[in-house]
């Protein structure tokens, strides 16, 4: 039975060379997370809908419900696919608190699902890479300093181009608003968070329609306009003449982050006091990351401090986390800019087959090379050598091994890019390090 294949929007799939590029990003991110002492966890894909829908978003409109087609009366819970990794991690922490060692440093790289209209950089299925540090009772502030430096380390090893991690502290905003006499702090934060989408004039109108005076609205916009690559934001905020204890605390904490960044990741972080993050559970430092020149694409890495996301009623587990939107990032780098891999297969060597009777010997050679971690494939057919070379060339495989074609009946290996052929011993030969794995390749710029 023939059926027409119809693509489903919002579920990205890559071709083999693009998938190698994606895997390189995932492997690099994982390696950096582990270098910084984070342990891997994996959580189930589904959570009770009630848990997912209680997180300060229009979650009911976004959650994919899960049910058995023959469900009948077996409705033990309404389940939904998780739309981020923070909510399931909070549940995981509560369920396993007695078995975890705190402070617990976790990383998690998994798919998430959001039932929203797909658009540029936003998908229905996507991969996120999260790190969180959670403690029992209290979480020291210094972890808020650490997380953006981990991201900076990961991005320094990847071809993401120039980027900026924008940092703010919710205590600055809340303390400033309270110092102005504003009572609806949460509503004001949400409105100011719309600055990049609707602009200052509309934000000011919204603030005033919510009951703020013109002076209060102007002060809120003046605070949001402050952005510095260093700690000079402190003096600029002080110049606005607003005082509050919480404001002082937030300024001191953000200054500590910027001072650490100046030493460990110079030029990467920016203090941006307009960054608020719309989710209610953030209570301290907040992060958003944009690619320079692609600010309209939005944040590709974000997160912040939360003090009460995970609580069992007796004990609270505060934490700080940051999430790399891997699919979102690669939607730009691979999907739009053409980042790919140098070959469509991990294979570095194709072992030629002289004839059907000698295939067993070609397999022995491949086994010897693989034993030394050289990705190797045996040719599918004992065709003419020219066709076997063509088979390798089409897949980007750089080397072809010819059994018995070397001096005195030994083997030979050919770099099919240059045409150079040399005698080779299967027990010692290895390709250059640069050819052992497929390399990332960016398209030429005009």
User: Does 84 appear as a known binding residue?
Assistant: yes
Both tokens assigned to 373: 């971690």
Both tokens assigned to 302: 């974000």
Query: What percentage of the chain's residues is helix, strand, coil (to nearest 5)?
Result: 40, 20, 40
- Order of strands, sheet of 282-291, starting from the edge strand that comes earlier in the sequence: 39-40, 104-113, 125-134, 316-325, 301-311, 282-291, 163-169, 269-272, 227-228
User: Does 85 appear as a known binding residue?
Assistant: yes
Angle made by CA atoms 409, 411, 417, in degrees to the nearest 5: 135
User: Does 208 appear as a known binding residue?
Assistant: no
Phi, then psi, of 359 in degrees rounded to 5: -60, -35
User: Does 240 appear as a known binding residue?
Assistant: no
Contacts with 138 (C-beta within 8 Å, 6 or more apart), sequence order: 318
Query: Do the Cβ atoms of 156 and 149 come closer than 8 Å?
Result: no
- N residues, the chain: 446
Q: Cα dist. 374→89, 107, 377, 437 in Å?
A: 38, 30, 10, 9
Contacts with 276 (C-beta within 8 Å, 6 or more apart), sequence order: 168, 170, 173, 189, 190, 192, 193, 286
Cβ burial of 227 (10 Å; 0-12, 13-18, 19+) is: middle
Contacts with 164 (C-beta within 8 Å, 6 or more apart), sequence order: 268, 269, 270, 289, 290, 292
Query: Do the Cβ atoms of 17 and 344 come closer than 8 Å?
Result: yes
Tell me whether strands 163-169 and 46-48 are parallel, antiparallel or unpaired: unpaired
User: Does 280 appear as a known binding residue?
Assistant: no
Query: Do the Cβ atoms of 419 and 389 come closer than 8 Å?
Result: no
Residue 246 CA, chain-centre distance (Å), reads 32
User: Does 114 appear as a known binding residue?
Assistant: yes
Which 3-state string (H, E, C) describes 159-217?
CCCCEEEEEEEHHHHHHHHHHCCCCCHHHHHHHHCCHHHHCHHHHHHHHHHCCCCHHHH
User: Does 317 appear as a known binding residue?
Assistant: no
Which residues are part of a known binding site? 84-86, 114, 128, 132, 277, 281-282
Which residues are part of a known binding site for L-histidine? 84-86, 114, 128, 132, 277, 281-282
């Amino acid at each position: 039975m023939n059926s027409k294949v119809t693509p489903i929007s919002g579920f990205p799939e890559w071709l083999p060379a693009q998938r190698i590029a994606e895997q390189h990003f995932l492997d690099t991110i994982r390696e950096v997370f582990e270098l910084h002492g984070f342990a891997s966890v994996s959580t189930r894909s589904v959570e009770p809908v009630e848990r997912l829908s209680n997180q300060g978003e229009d979650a009911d409109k976004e959650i994919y419900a899960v049910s058995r087609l023959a469900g009948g009366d077996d409705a033990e819970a309404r389940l939904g696919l998780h739309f981020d990794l923070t909510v399931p991690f909070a549940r995981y922490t509560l369920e396993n608190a007695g078995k975890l060692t705190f402070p617990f440093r976790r990383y998690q790289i998994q798919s998430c699902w959001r039932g929203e209209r797909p658009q540029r950089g936003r998908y229905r299925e996507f991969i996120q890479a999260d790190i969180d540090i959670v403690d029992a009772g209290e979480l020291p502030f210094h972890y808020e300093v650490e997380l953006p430096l981990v991201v900076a380390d990961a991005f320094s090893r990847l071809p993401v181009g120039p980027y900026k991690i924008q940092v703010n502290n919710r205590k600055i905003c809340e303390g400033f608003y309270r110092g102005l006499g504003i009572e609806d702090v949460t509503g004001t934060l949400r409105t100011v968070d719309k600055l990049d989408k609707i602009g200052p004039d509309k934000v000011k109108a919204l603030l005033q329609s919510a009951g703020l005076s013109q002076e209060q609205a102007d002060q809120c916009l003046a605070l949001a306009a402050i952005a510095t690559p260093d700690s000079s934001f402190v003096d600029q905020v002080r110049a606005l003449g607003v005082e509050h204890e919480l404001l002082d605390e937030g300024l001191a904490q953000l200054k500590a982050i910027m001072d650490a960044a100046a030493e460990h990741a110079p030029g990467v972080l920016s203090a941006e006091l307009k960054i608020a993050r719309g989710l209610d559970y953030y209570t301290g430092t907040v992060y958003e990351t944009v690619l320079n020149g692609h600010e309209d694409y939005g944040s590709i890495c974000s997160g912040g401090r939360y003090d009460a996301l995970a609580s069992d009623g007796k004990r609270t587990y505060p934490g700080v986390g940051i999430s790399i939107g891997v699919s979102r990032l690669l939607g730009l780098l691979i999907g739009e800019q053409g980042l790919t891999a140098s070959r469509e297969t991990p294979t570095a060597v194709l072992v030629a087959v002289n004839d059907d009777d000698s295939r067993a010997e070609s397999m022995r050679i491949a086994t010897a090379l693989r034993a030394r971690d050289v990705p190797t494939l045996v040719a599918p057919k004992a065709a003419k050598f020219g066709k076997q070379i063509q088979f390798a060339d089409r897949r980007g495989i750089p080397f072809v091994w010819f059994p018995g074609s070397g001096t005195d009946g030994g083997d030979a290996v050919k770099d099919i890019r240059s045409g150079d052929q040399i005698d080779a011993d299967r027990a010692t030969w290895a390709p250059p390090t640069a050819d052992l794995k497929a390399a990332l390749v960016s398209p030429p710029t005009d």
